[in-house]
Amino acid sequence: MLCNKITVIVNDLKKTHADKVKFTTIKVSAPGSKEAIKEAKLTNHGIVCKDVKGKIITTVDGHNYKKDKVVAAMNKLLKAK
């Protein structure tokens, strides 16, 4: 679940890493988001990185990140593959 300010960063990463990582942007208001936020143990919204089986590899709570944290989360996901 990404807020609007971070969507730009994620869209840029899609351009260079879409062949390795599937990026999905889901609005907090989307059906199922509240349950996904609770499952990921996020306080409000953020980034949830899952492996191909759906296991959560890492999360980043909303408003606690900039591009460096987004890249770090993506790199952790890539190492888990």
Tens digit of each residue's pLDDT (9 = 90 or more) over 4-20: 667 788 888 889 898 99
Task: Write down the pLDDT at residue 8.
Answer: 82
pTM score of the predicted model: 0.79
- Look at residue 34 and give its three-state secondary structure: helix
pLDDT higher than threshold 70 for residue 54: yes
What is the number of H-type helices and E-type strands within the chain?
3, 2
Q: Domain span at residue 44? A: 4-80
Sign, CA dihedral 44-72-48-21, equals: positive
- Number of domains, the chain: 1
Q: What is the pLDDT of residues 66-79, one digit of tens each?
A: 889 889 999 998 89
Q: How many CB atoms lie within 10 A of CB 22?
A: 10
Q: What is the pLDDT of residues 22-40, one digit of tens each?
A: 888 788 889 999 999 999 9
